[in-house]
């Protein structure tokens, strides 16, 4: 007479086994949700606290809106896992992220009557590789002021040779690779000291139809691992240069290697400057890396202006050969008094 074998011994579904597996799956889902929430919480916490923290927080802050994806995935996992504490955590994170995705900075009214129209273009040409495409864009867009970053000697020579007739005035910091920078102008320029930094940040004062306008090119070092201190120090140097004179109308443009979600960049805006893209309603339009824009990226290229300017429009141009999109802003200068 054979011994009867319970069916659960064959199938492995011991009494309670069917209930144990869902519990294990829910536990695993809750752990995954917790890991996602923890990672996003560190970045969101630094954003709330007004600090850029340390690597990898500054790098992740550049893509703050995209953190909605892991936060949303974590909330879904918490819901499926019936982890009620996690669901509350996820809702809180999504709320914090949504709050801080809102544009930063003021949109105050100009303080005088219009006196001049000024068109500005800024472009990082990636070690000069986008020089030819930039020259074509300049001829097409006809800006009054052109700010060029990562312009080595070959780039500088091309700009001199092909744009000198239209832009007879210039200020430059010469250098190889990413160190060279140039400001081209239709208006007469008077030299200023600029901002000393690893990469060139020249400055000038332009005579715009009898009105002095301070020009400053920005190109601090990127927030590389191990180089966060230098990145922050160079952004602070740009901020100090702006804060030293808040009476002269100012245009500060370039590749800031920072977004509105970086505390070091917001300190520059706190001097009273305003982002032209933000005033034109394009504060989240990505400019880098260009192969993934406009679908994905970060807005690290900016045209910042003092309250003496209103913004007519702001557009973004693809520059072949460069990993940055150019920014073109139409400005109106208002007189004081």
Model confidence at 109, in pLDDT bands (50, 70, 90)?
Answer: confident
Helix (H) or strand (E) holding 60: helix 57-61
Domains and CATH numbers, the chain: 8-101 (no CATH), 114-334 (3.60.10.10)
Q: Picking from 18-27, 58-67, 228-237, 248-257, which range would have the lowest pLDDT averaged per residue?
A: 18-27
DSSP, collapsed to helix, strand or coil, labels residue 298 as strand
Model confidence at 8, in pLDDT bands (50, 70, 90)?
Answer: very low
DSSP state at residue 308:
T
- 191 has pLDDT over 60: yes
pLDDT value, residue 9: 45
Q: With the CA atoms of 240, 334, 314 and 237 taken in that order, what torsion angle do they form, in degrees rounded to the nearest 10?
A: -10
Model confidence at 252, in pLDDT bands (50, 70, 90)?
Answer: very high
Give the integer Cα–Cα distance in Å for 52 and 124: 24
Model confidence at 22, in pLDDT bands (50, 70, 90)?
Answer: confident
CB 293 within 8 A of CB 303: no
Helix (H) or strand (E) holding 207: strand 203-208
Name residue, tokens 């007469």: 188
With a threshold of 0.75, does the pTM exceed it?
yes
pLDDT value, residue 112: 83
Model confidence at 25, in pLDDT bands (50, 70, 90)?
Answer: confident
Q: For the chain, what percent of residues have pLDDT higher than 90?
A: 88
Find how far residue 11's CA is from the centre of its chain. Answer: 57
Q: How far is CA 74 from CA 64, 289, 301, in A?
A: 16, 27, 32
| pLDDT tens-digit readout, 41-59 | 999 999 999 999 999 999 9
Q: What is the mean pLDDT of residues 18-36?
A: 86
Q: For the chain, what percent of residues have pLDDT higher than 70?
A: 93
pLDDT value, residue 21: 76
CB 315 within 8 A of CB 296: no
pLDDT value, residue 1: 47
Q: Picking from 102-111, 130-139, 293-302, which range would have the lowest pLDDT averaged per residue?
A: 102-111
Find how far residue 276's CA is from the centre of its chain. Answer: 13
């Amino acid at each position: 007479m054979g011994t009867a074998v319970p069916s659960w011994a064959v199938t492995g579904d011991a009494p309670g086994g069917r209930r144990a597996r869902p519990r294990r799956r829910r536990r695993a889902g809750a752990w995954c949700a917790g890991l996602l929430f923890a990672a996003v919480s560190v970045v969101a916490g630094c954003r709330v606290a007004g600090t850029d923290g340390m690597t990898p927080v500054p790098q992740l802050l550049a893509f703050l809106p995209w953190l909605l994806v892991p936060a949303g995935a974590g909330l879904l996992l918490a819901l499926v896992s019936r982890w009620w504490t996690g669901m509350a955590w996820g809702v809180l994170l999504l709320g914090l992220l949504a709050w801080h995705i809102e544009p930063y900075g003021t949109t105050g009214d100009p303080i005088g009557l219009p006196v001049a129209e000024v068109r500005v273009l800024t472009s990082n040409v990636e070690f000069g590789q986008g020089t030819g495409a930039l020259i074509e864009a300049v001829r097409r867009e006809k800006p009054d002021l052109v700010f060029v970053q990562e312009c080595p000697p070959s780039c500088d020579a091309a700009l001199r040779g092909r744009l000198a007739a239209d832009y007879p005035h210039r200020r430059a910091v010469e250098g190889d690779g990413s160190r060279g920078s140039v400001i081209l102008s239709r208006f007469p320029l008077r030299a200023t000291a600029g901002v000393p930094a690893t990469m060139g940040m020249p400055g000038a004062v332009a005579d715009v139809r009898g009105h002095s306008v301070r020009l400053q090119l920005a190109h601090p070092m990127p927030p590389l691992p191990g180089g966060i201190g230098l990145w922050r120090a160079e952004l602070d140097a740009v901020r100090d240069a702006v804060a030293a004179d808040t009476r002269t109308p100012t245009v500060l443009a370039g590749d800031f290697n920072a977004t509105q979600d970086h505390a070091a960049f917001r300190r520059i805006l706190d001097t009273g400057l305003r982002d032209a893209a933000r005033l034109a309603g394009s504060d989240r339009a990505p400019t880098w890396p260009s192969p993934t824009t406009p679908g994905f990226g970060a807005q690290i290229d900016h045209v910042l202006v003092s309250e003496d300017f209103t913004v007519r429009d702001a557009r973004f141009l693809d520059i072949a050969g460069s990993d940055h999109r150019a920014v073109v802003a139409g400005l109106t200068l208002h007189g004081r008094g």
